[in-house]
Structure 1
């Protein structure tokens, strides 16, 4: 990417990606808080957990058919690209500075992976007091116990740690690198050289996203109903 090229507004983050991002952020914070509060708040903990499950399923699908910079194929980097980025390289045609950078991609995949594990273990967890996951009856007691231990222990703290690192990274980029990562996730646009590929964000794209999200929400509701 030529630093002397004239800049123009380019749609990097499509609306479905932005909505997913902020909904997931709010849901994760709320699900952790309700787990800490316990008691009657566990009803909302379960509901929010199903919301997180639906959002994760949507993101996995959107990573295949979503806007250009939201597709996994466009931010899966090898070790060479990651080391090059850490040495200050901007990537081919400045690619690292458009969507997710190699380090940002690692953060995204780590958080998605931990959240998937947290949802999966929550579905079969049993606190031996009043709360059981809807799929508890499908696994052995030992499996449920191991899942419960992870869900309420390491898994929860991993999520908190990754969220804190995510926030610190945003502050670091804003203060040290003078790059605003929050603004583009609100507006969807970045000032980039002409010719930078844009993410499709038309009415048809948003309709497809709404359909996929509805299907994911229906799947989450069906899983929830298995708990009786």
Structure 2
């Protein structure tokens, strides 16, 4: 019996410009918004609010793009069958690049989780009215019955978002250090070396593991 031949590698156009812009603008907004909410000494949260509104717009765009955008950006592309999750988990300890054509199975789930938590955070912020800040959410006066719940959720999710960001950075570091796969450049220029079947119109060139 002979060993199964390795899957071919291709450099492909993976992340479109809108996804890349969304990623970096969202990352900037989330980090600055969290920091401003934590360290702002005056109690004025004007910047915090405007960044929050920006995040709302970004999330609305991402939902639409996740339904009608190119295949790597679509939410259905983030879902895998049980065998894919088992194969991914089994391959995690191996010190070699995984070369997934897009988000890996766990990464796909993390996208759903992060977008869901951010959506809940910005919606709760619309109703929040913290006692130690001068500003209140734009819907706090119109829906006073939601203020307490909105404020509690908004405060509770802040450390959760920080944890998710740290886990995201930790996963990037794990792939870079342990698996020898740098995930950051593909979110800058949009190209990535992957293995397996991919649409022909996405392929730039075939590559070898050494050239990748």
Give the TM-score taking structure 1 as reference length: 0.76
1:103-182 aligned within 5 A: 103-128=106-131, 129-141=133-145, 143-152=146-155, 154-182=156-184
Deviation per residue, 1:26-84 (Å, 9 max, x gap): 01000001101232651100010001111111111110111211100111224443233
- SS of the residue aligned with 2:35? helix
Q: 1:157-207 CA distances to partner (integer Å, 9 max, x unpaired)?
A: 00000000000000001111111110111110013469622787xxxxxxx
Distance 1:4 1:106 in 2: 25
- How many residues are matched? 192
Aligned-residue CA RMSD in angstroms?
Answer: 2.4
Shift in CA distance, 71/96, structure 1 to aligned 2, threshold 3 Å: farther
- Which blocks of at least 5 consecutive residues in structure 2 are unaligned? 93-97, 203-212
Q: Residue 63 of structure 1 aligns with which residue? A: 66
1:72 alignment partner in structure 2 = 75
CA positional deviation for 1:140: 3.6
Q: If you compute each CA radius of gyration, which structure gives the higher value, 1 or 2?
A: 2
Structure 1 window deviating more from structure 2 (130-139 vs 154-163): it is 130-139
Structure 1 unpaired stretches of 5+: 90-94, 201-228
Does the C-alpha gap of structure 1 residues 68 and 150 become closer, same or farther in structure 2, counting only changes over 3 Å? Answer: same
Q: In the alignment, which residue of structure 2 is the partner of 1:88? A: 91
